[in-house]
């Protein structure tokens, strides 16, 4: 599946990532002025249980339920993912 990837800074030099289907806007409940576009049209395996390096658990279930998937607070990324 092709997705657009966004990132936002978190405390302690960590980051959270958010993915949405390519070309789709971030759903209103996830709209946040801190999200910065990182990549567009990236192929990911949304059926994976855990999407590395963005540390997103169960991306397919999140996309189906909410229209987006994002990094859990338990898996925030230290440093930069692509």
Q: What is the pLDDT of residue 31?
A: 83
> CA–CA separation, 29 vs 41, rounded Å?
22
pLDDT along the chain (82 residues), means of 10: 94 92 92 89 92 93 95 75 66
Q: What is the pLDDT of residue 34?
A: 87
Give, in order, the Cα–Cα distances in Å from 68 to each of 12, 13, 42, 79: 25, 23, 14, 22
Q: What is the pLDDT of residue 17?
A: 94
17 in Cβ contact with 72 (< 8 Å) = no
13 in Cβ contact with 48 (< 8 Å) = no
Q: What is the pLDDT of residue 80?
A: 67
> CA–CA separation, 48 vs 51, rounded Å?
6
The pTM (predicted TM-score) of the whole model is 0.87
């Amino acid at each position: 599946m092709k997705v657009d990837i966004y990132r936002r800074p978190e405390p302690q030099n960590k980051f959270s990532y958010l993915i949405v289907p390519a070309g789709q806007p971030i759903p209103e409940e996830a709209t946040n002025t801190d999200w910065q576009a990182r990549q567009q049209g990236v192929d990911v395996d949304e059926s994976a249980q855990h999407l590395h390096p963005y540390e997103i658990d169960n991306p397919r279930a999140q996309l189906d339920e909410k229209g987006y998937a994002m990094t859990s607070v338990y898996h925030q990324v230290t440093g930069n993912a692509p």
